[in-house]
Amino acid sequence: MREDVTVLRPIDSFHQDPIGDWVADLRCGHGQHVRHRPPFWERPWVLTAEGRDGKLGAELPCVLCERFELPAGHAPYKRTREFDEHSIPSGLLKDHSTAAGVWGVIHVIAGRLRYIVESPLARELVLDETHDGIVVPEVLHRVAPEGSVRFFVEFHRKP
């Protein structure tokens, strides 16, 4: 396990993959294998329903969140109207975050938009027509127009 991963996500449930290995369903929408394969992975608890129940709510580091990866199977369900540098809601200029399991995609139609992501991801990006911004659930972030810009935000979740 990498030590620099700092995005921790609680386990909401478990399912088995097609070959029967157990996968933890994390609240962010990502799945993570929790295999019992001694001597490499020692997780005897995963083999019993009791053991798995005991791990519900436990947090695992999520590398996919750290990589700003939209979970597979998530779909857009709403979007904001289009904003420009004058109509951008003040809430978007201040640190804010989406709810658990809600991902966002910031689409820039024209111009440039600075996208600042706070700890634990701590990233600063400049978005444009060819670079969307992925909004990771429950991670504080804000945007700042770089001159004239037009953009909207699309929200994704598990259907």
CA dihedral 42, 48, 50, 54 (to 10 degrees): 30
* Integer angstrom CA distances of residue 94 from 12, 19, 123: 30, 46, 15
* Residue from 11, 24, 60, 64 binding Zn ion (CB under 5 A): 64
Minimum gap (Å) between residue 150 Cβ and Zn ion: 30
Structure tokens at 67: 């990589």
Nearer to Zn ion, 42 or 59 (CB): 59
What sign does the CA torsion over 27, 29, 31, 32 have? negative
Minimum gap (Å) between residue 20 Cβ and Zn ion: 23
Closest among 136, 131, 122 to 149, alpha carbons compared? 131
Binding piece for Zn ion, criterion CB under 5 A, among 41-49, 58-66, 118-126, 145-153: 58-66
Nearer to Zn ion, 103 or 151 (CB): 103
Binding piece for Zn ion, criterion CB under 5 A, among 20-28, 41-49, 86-94, 143-151: 20-28
- Mapped onto helix, strand or coil, the DSSP state of residue 117 is strand
- Residue 136 touches Zn ion, criterion: CB under 5 A: no
Which spans of this chain sit near Zn ion (rule: CB under 5 A)? 28, 30, 62, 64-65
